[in-house]
Structure 1
């Protein structure tokens, strides 16, 4: 019902908003070639979110390995060759490492306090140093080798047992479980087995939900300069769902932190009692 109401309220205003956009838009700089977008939405209608990489590849075919697009009020450049990808991601890294501040990632990362979605600033520089010299240094990575080998072995054993009992093996589910177990054991010393049932499904469901919100776009992201555009997201219920996901994720982090602290305290107490 809300979506139908939104369509009646919002869709008739698109022609007026398109005219305002054409009147007040700034003159664009010299951009690479690309498909001509529609007023107001740009090339948004040409992108299939379920297979975004395929959509982008199809758009680059008539124009070459570098293409300019418009996503609402945002300009974007797509590169599709190895040489250009190296130029963007390595040679010109400082010029391209900035990240737009979108609603989903900003909320779920505590206002950009991570390393994947935060803008290029002093915080990111410090985080990169920590990851390079401490978390992902060769010695540290090698110390987790037994965890990787054990989790891969457990996954292969589970597949073998399911095959012997003539049960269906969902490889996508197994790979998600393997990845999450590796991440959980390395980060928090905890894993969820394939047979764990409710708790495993709950954790994997939360991870999938978070991944979805990290790449989801809101009307406020696409048309940030339009007044009252945030009302569209609220009417569609996206803000409330994002907020619920954030609180679930925050509670999950807190649970893991409390378990870790309690285990350390228990070890300290036991060690003191032994001495």
Structure 2
């Protein structure tokens, strides 16, 4: 028997023996109901699909809105209705404010020093407050209007060269969002922007790819013997070098006069002036920068692509939103004040977030045992909130599977975290602090593309032919990137309210 085969058999036996001991140990009593569990793997086979949020909703309809899954070694609770999310937030938000740690978040985010991954405590509260008030406040987001206007002018000129030709809309959306987010975060001094973006893509693929150790945490040695940890450390070393260069470039420019502060400038200024209650290091700043870049790009470009998919499938909605936009804009450039008056566009964005926002929120973990609806939840249980299931809950929404922006016409429901039927940005203490930035980016890009161009499907493709099948990888996106044709805007005008005025 060759050494490799012997080694493989030995490792397989160790894995099997360890997992069997873990799965067959005495389980907690009075856990929430859930599907039957297989030996060793538990319910992994029911969760690992291309659309896990749909699989979880299907299971929840059978086993209840609070459901227990055994994902390998990891005991997991899934919540699937707005009513139960509200109950959990009212009673257990503080207890469930921790994050389950993993080796990739520890490596790439400098031992979990970002907002999303840091443990709940004084550091988390300080950093979140700083991000919310200093980095991503409504005032700060408005200060980036010159970046949005500049980048959208470039995008419009680029699309004009493709008039009448099908384009890959996913590429257009992601490149536009990447440029906006990078300039707002890093300014114009990052000479390694393309390398940084490529490295970010590798990191996002790492987080979204299957890793058996995330399901069997006691088998950490597998990340070492398979070479995964060494690979991740190599990627992080390259990333750290780029981020270190960015900090140095900003420090060199610190004495020069600047009209605008990017997010790196703000963090360095706060650090140097001692504005933080707890002193922070350059590694803390790097972790926050990386999170700004990753969180600000993938989810926004995802939302924009889904919005266009729905608009191309619903020509009447497309016509109505374009009329709303074109009746609002007074000049050739769309301003922030124009966007604030685009009433129907905001309904389209809300409806897109309801159907196609982040489907499963970043996991939480409880610090101590608790009782939820009479069920015992042991400490260190992983909590998944199925935001997509809440957004399509038939008890909360009429015709929940249909794209109908008008449903928000006379509705006070918002995505700010207080209405549990619509929580694409999360809720409670762990709500995303970047809502203003994300919505500003999405509305700016959508309004410009819809104002300056009409859009057709390629010859022979009908609206009902658009494949809306979801695939969850880096983000939850359409299985096939949207292909559409930009058309020069007709020379017509619109009266207030979107009524067409003949030329």
Residue of structure 2 in register with 1:54 after alignment: 54
DSSP 3-state at the match of 1:68: strand
1:230 aligns with one of 192, 216, 220 = 220
Is the CA contact 2:223–2:229 (under 8 Å) kept in the aligned structure 1? yes
What's the CA shift string for 1:160-209, capped at 9, x where partnerless? 32335x3x5222222222222222111111399xxx9xx66533321211
**1:262 maps onto 2:263 in alignment:** no
**1:107 maps onto 2:107 in alignment:** yes
For 1:106 and 1:157, the matched residues in 2 are separated by: 42
- TM-score, with normalisation over the residues of structure 2? 0.45
For 1:134 and 1:200, the matched residues in 2 are separated by: 24
DSSP 3-state at the match of 2:28: coil
Shift of 1:109: 0.6
Indicate how the Cα distance of structure 1 residues 151 and 67 shifts in structure 2: closer, same or farther if over 3 A, else same: farther
Indicate how the Cα distance of structure 1 residues 22 and 81 shifts in structure 2: closer, same or farther if over 3 A, else same: closer
Indicate how the Cα distance of structure 1 residues 221 and 18 shifts in structure 2: closer, same or farther if over 3 A, else same: closer
2:236 aligns with one of 246, 257, 266 = 246
Indicate how the Cα distance of structure 1 residues 6 and 183 shifts in structure 2: closer, same or farther if over 3 A, else same: farther
1:184 aligns with one of 182, 188, 210 = 182
For 2:65 and 2:10, the matched residues in 1 are separated by: 40
For 1:90 and 1:5, the matched residues in 2 are separated by: 54
Is the CA contact 2:189–2:250 (under 8 Å) kept in the aligned structure 1? no
Shift of 1:104: 0.4
Residue of structure 2 in register with 1:37 after alignment: 37
Question: 1:154-173 alignment to 2 at 5 Å?
Answer: 154-163=154-163, 166=165, 168-173=166-171
Shift of 1:117: 1.0
Shift of 1:124: 0.3
Shift of 1:243: 1.0
Is the CA contact 2:19–2:73 (under 8 Å) kept in the aligned structure 1? no
Indicate how the Cα distance of structure 1 residues 38 and 244 shifts in structure 2: closer, same or farther if over 3 A, else same: same
Is the CA contact 1:162–1:169 (under 8 Å) kept in the aligned structure 2? yes
For 1:128 and 1:178, the matched residues in 2 are separated by: 27
Indicate how the Cα distance of structure 1 residues 265 and 82 shifts in structure 2: closer, same or farther if over 3 A, else same: same
1:206 aligns with one of 199, 211, 214 = 199
Is the CA contact 1:6–1:235 (under 8 Å) kept in the aligned structure 2? no
Count of aligned pairs: 256
For 1:154 and 1:71, the matched residues in 2 are separated by: 47
For 1:158 and 1:84, the matched residues in 2 are separated by: 47
- TM-score, with normalisation over the residues of structure 1? 0.79
Shift of 1:26: 4.4
DSSP 3-state at the match of 2:167: coil
What's the CA shift string for 1:135-171, capped at 9, x where partnerless? 222222221223233333433332232335x3x5222
In structure 2, the gaps of 5 or more residues are 259-503
Q: Which moved more, 1:58-67 or 1:5-14?
A: 5-14
Residue of structure 2 in register with 1:28 after alignment: 28
Question: 1:38-187 alignment to 2 at 5 Å?
Answer: 38-48=38-48, 50-88=50-88, 92-163=92-163, 166=165, 168-187=166-185
Shift of 1:242: 0.9
Structure with a larger share of its residues in helix: 1
Is the CA contact 2:97–2:120 (under 8 Å) kept in the aligned structure 1? yes
For 1:191 and 1:61, the matched residues in 2 are separated by: 51
Shift of 1:12: 3.9
For 1:200 and 1:163, the matched residues in 2 are separated by: 29
In structure 1, the gaps of 5 or more residues are 269-275
Shift of 1:40: 2.5
